Amino acid sequence: MSTVTTDPHAHAEHEHHGPAKGLKRWLYTTNHKDIGTLYLLFSLLMFFIGGAMAMVIRAELFQPGLQIVDPNFFNQMTTVHGLIMVFGAVMPAFTGLANWLIPMMIGAPDMALPRMNNWSFWILPFAFSILLASLFMEGGGPSFGWTFYAPLSTTYSNDSTALFVFSVHIMGISSIMGAINVIVTIMNLRAPGMTYMKMPLFVWTWFITAYLLIAVMPVLAGVVTMVLTDKYFGTSFFDAAGGGDPVLFQHIFWFFGHPEVYIMILPAFGIISSIVPTFSRKPLFGYASMVYATSSIALLSFLVWAHHMFTTGMPVAAELFFMYCTMLIAVPTGVKVFNWVATMWRGAMTFEVPMMFSLAFIVLFTIGGFSGLMLAITPADFQYHDTYFVVAHFHYVLVTGAVFSIMAAAYYWLPKWTGHMYDETLGQWHFWCSLISVNVLFFPMHFVGLAGMPRRIPDYALQFADFNALISIGGFAFGLSQLLFVWLVVKCIKGGEKATDQVWEGAEGLEWTIASPAPYHSFTTPPEIK
C-alpha cells in the first residue's frame, strides 16, 4: 500500500529502491503537484507550437497574393493550430491547475486516483506526437479545419486522417480519465465540514466541467470513428450517395463542440472568482448565484449546438429555438460578470499582475460575449457566418478569455508553486505587451469580417490589405510578448525573493474570503485567523 504525501518535493517511493530520481521520478510520479506541473509545462510547450502555426497563418495573410506557403499547407496550419490550442494548450493547462489546486482547496491529501492521474498525463505527449507527425506524411497532414467537416474529412482528405482520428481518441481518453479523477476527488476527499456550498468556486467550476467532459467526449469519439469508417471501411454515415447525410456530421460534431467551448471557459470563471476577491480585499459577491449560474450555463450548453448551423437550411422553428436558447446563455454569464464587478465595488483594490489579467479578462471576455450575441441572431448570422467576424468572436472568448485566465492563475499561484515571488516589473511588461497586441490582433478582424472577408482562405481581396497587415503585426507582437512570460517563469523557478506565508500584501487574514462563503455572517476577520 502506497502512502500519499502532500510534500511538493515528494518522490514516488518504491519498496526497496528508495525515492526515484531524475526522469524516473517524473515518469512514475503519482503526486498531484508533480502531475499538475507536468500538465502546465506541456501546455506551455503546445501553446508555443500552436502559436508558431498561427504565425505561419498571419505571415501568409500579411499581404494579398500567395507568397509564403502553399494553400494546402495553409489549410494544414489552420487545422492543426486549432486542434493544438484547444486540446493541447487550454485543456491541459486547466487540468494542470485542477491537479495542483483542487486537493489543496478541499483539504485532500492527493487526487483520489493517483495512478490513473499519471496515465492520463503521459498519454498526451503520444497523442500530440502522432498529430504533429501526420504533417510529415506524403500529401501532408489534416487540412480540413479543426472541425473536420464531412465530406472534407471523409472523401477529400489524405491518409493523415487515420493518424488524426487516432490522436483525437487518445486526447479524449486522457480528458475522460482526468474528469473522472476530479469528480471522485471532490465527492470523496473533501475535508470534514466542507459541504458542497462551501467549496471554493474554482472547485465548483471544475466539478461541473468534469461532468461536461464525461458527457461530450464520447460524442467526439463517436463522430471521429464514423469519419474513420466512412473513409476506410465503406460506411456512408455522411455520404448522401450511400443514404447518409453530411449535415448529420455537423449535428454530432457540434453536440460535442459547443459544450467543449464551455469546458474551456468554466474553469476560467473559477480562476477569476478566486483572484478578484483577493485583490479587492472583499468576499466574493453572490457565491450561491455564481454556483447556480455555472450550472445553468453547463445545462444550456447542450441546447444550443445548431447555432453553428443556421446556414444549413434548418426549419424556421428550429432556428428560433436555437436562437433563443443561445441568447438565454447570456443571462447566467451576465450574472457572473455583475458579481465580479460587485465584488470589486468599494473594495480596497490593488493592481498586481494577476488582478490586471483578471480585469482584462472581464472586459475582453464581455466583448467576446457581445459578439456571440450578435452571432446568435439567426438572420444576422447568415451575414456573419464563416467570416473573420466569427474568428474575432471566438478568439476574444478563448484568448482574452481562457488564455488570459490561465496567465492570471499562473501569476497568482506561482509563489505557492515555486516558493519564490515572480518579478513584478517583468510581469507588468508582459501584461501590457499582451493586452495591446492581442487587441491589435483580434479587434480589426470584426471589421474585415463584417465587410465580408471569409475565414480559412489563404488569399483575400485588395480591400482587406491594410487591416490584414495590422492584424499580422499584432499577431507577431502577441507571440513575442509570450517570451517574456517564459523568461519570468524560468527566473521564478530558479530563485528570487522568497514567498512569505502571506504572499499578497494587505490581504492578511482574508484568505477565507477567497471565492467561498465567509465562515461568519459578519465581515470582520474571524478571531482564529488573526
Q: Which are the catalytic amino acids?
A: 81, 110, 146, 174-175, 258, 260, 262, 273, 307-308, 333, 336, 455
Q: In this structure, what C-alpha cell is assigned to residue 222?
A: 463517436
Q: What one-character-per-residue DSSP string does 59-109 give?
A: HHTTSSS--SS-HHHHHHHHHHHHHIIIIIIIHHHHHHHHHHHHHHHHT-S
Cβ count within 10 A of residue 502: 12
Only one residue has cell 451576465, namely 334
- Return the closest-CA partner of residue 121 out of 93, 83, 85: 93
Using omega within 30 degrees of 0 as the cis cutoff, is the peptide bond preceding 8 cis?
no
Q: Is the dihedral of CA 260, 265, 268, 269 positive or negative?
A: negative
HEC string for 240-258: HHHCCCHHHHHHHHHHHHH
Tell me the C-alpha distance between 387 and 13, whole Å: 55
Residue pair 409/97 in contact (Cβ under 8 Å)? The answer is yes
DSSP 400-457: IIIIHHHHHHHHHHHHHHHSB---HHHHHHHHHHHHHHHHHHHHHHHHHHHTTPBSS-
